[in-house]
Amino acid sequence: MYFNSIDFLIFLPIVFTIYWLIPARHTRSQNLVLVFASYFFYGWWDWRFLSLILASTVVDYSIGRLLERTDNLFRRRLLLFVSLTVNIGLLGFFKYFNFFVDSFVNAYTFFGYEISARGLDIILPVGISFYTFQTLSYTIDIYRKKLKADKEFLSVCAFVSFFPQLVAGPIERATHLLPQFDVERKFNYDLAVDGMRQIIWGFLKKIVIADNCAVFANMIFNDSANYPGSVLLLGAIFFAFQIYGDFSGYSDIAIGTAKLFGFELKKNFAYPYFSRDISEFWRRWHISLSSWFRDYVYIPLGGSKVGMAKKLRNVFIIFIVSGFWHGANWTFIIWGMLHALYYIPVLLADKNRSNMDIVAQGKLLPSLRELAQMLATFLLVVLAWIFFRAENIQHAIAYISEIMSPSLFSAVKFDNLYQAIGTLGLVFAFMVVEWLGRENVHPLKMVASISSRAARWSIYLLVMACIYFFGSYSTTLEFIYFQF
């Protein structure tokens, strides 16, 4: 079920009403409603894959209970190995089996050998990368003794399948989200109102920004051989705002929806296109995944408490694995390697933690230096997005080569140019609002401080009017990260 569908607009108020009709002291009953709602939400897409979520839940609940009962190091390692094998095995089969088969065949062909091998007709379960990492955090943290195993299977089941963030995050930690299923939850009006604000802002990001940008990003990328470098650069910029509006919009809707049910999810985006270097960008983009890799891969490898050579190795491992997490295509791996190459100069200069504050905090405008830093970082990110969006490596290289050619300075001409200019105007207005609200969790949070109720509602209605009048409704576009 998509957030941007009529189905969800009917589903959400029904679940909300049933959930809050249950007295707060009946926590298990509330959790049961959430589990049924979450399985219905996911099963709306394809009910057959509910068995995968249930299997991961049963395995990790059981292993968590067994880990709790033993201090024997060998047994604990064996149990953790089983959890990793089952979860990563399922993820690897459904997401990467055909990739490895094709890569194996291509490698043999490269050396002059012909072999016959065919992939399987496998459907990628929506959100498998997200809920796999989420449930793995449960067993890993129990193994590390940072978390006690939950005795309530229903709580663990609700944690793994929680529908607001089930298919595209944020990737929650068991230490943060799971305890919230075990305490009484009373309706919090202020939290719910802020949740609605964040949902509205998320819909604006998705329907007005992402879906309008998608029209031109798809048009240009799908026919890139027939456009000059100037148009291709514009297409890459459209895609940069498409993926930002799409993914951060989903996160806002997910976090806001969770607030309606009394839950606090972790922030997943913090205005990443206002970053002054690539290190800051990764502290602000897909925060839940970046921090997951930091805590469960980077730090166990030694993190930054090792020599420079191993630091560089660890950086490359993290970014390559992050790229591979996104999809079974060499383009994602190159995308990850590019970001590693961006990151290395910052690390060598020991500047990777130099921009920890909010840019131009307390000021209306950035300095010229900050503006130049943000622009340079944005252009580097846009360049890498080309590999992320391209069909294959050859497509990406041809695309970038044309941008680097003299045609970059040619006139921008294509069908619906004036509509594209209008979309750029929407993006500019959107970024102005984001800039003004960058010190808040989301820009509409600023509205809460306005004392006049009429003024607050005028702003809400204005945002909803923008969604209605400027939204792209020609087709219902699924969220990009559903494919991951």
Range of 43's domain? 6-186
Same domain, 204 and 132: no
What are the Cα distances from residue 125, in Å, to 50, 92, 259? 9, 12, 26
Same domain, 209 and 174: no
CB under 8 Å, gap of 24 or more: what pairs does 449-454 form?
Answer: none
| pLDDT band of 40, cuts 50, 70, 90 | very high
pLDDT for res 1: 76
Tell me the DSSP string of 435-450: HHTTTSSSGGGGGGG-
Q: In this structure, is residue 216 part of a structural domain?
A: yes
Same domain, 37 and 67: yes
Q: What percent of the chain has pLDDT over 70?
A: 93
Active site residue 326: yes
Same domain, 18 and 97: yes
Looking at the structure of the chain, the number of domains it has is: 2
Q: In this structure, is residue 329 part of a structural domain?
A: no
Cis peptide preceding 228, ω within 30 of 0: no
Same domain, 165 and 21: yes
Query: Of 166, 186, 206, which residue is a domain's last?
Result: 186
Same domain, 223 and 159: no
Exactly one of 326, 339, 395, 442 is catalytic; which is it?
326
| pLDDT 10s digits, 171-206 | 999 999 999 999 999 999 999 999 999 999 999 999
Same domain, 261 and 169: no
Element (H, E) at 227: none
Average pLDDT over residues 389-393: 94
Same domain, 177 and 195: no
Average pLDDT over residues 353-380: 95
Q: In this structure, is residue 350 part of a structural domain?
A: no
Instruction: Report the b/e string of 288-311 with b at 16+ CB within 10 A.
Output: bbbbbbebbebeeeeeeeeeeeeb
| pLDDT 10s digits, 232-262 | 999 999 999 999 999 999 999 999 999 999 9
pLDDT for res 186: 92
Q: In this structure, is residue 249 part of a structural domain?
A: yes
Tell me the DSSP string of 320-375: HHHHHHH-SSHHHHHHHHHHHHHHHHHHHTT-TTS--S-TTTT-SS--HHHHHHHH
Same domain, 235 and 157: no
Q: In this structure, is residue 74 part of a structural domain?
A: yes
Q: Read off the pTM.
A: 0.93
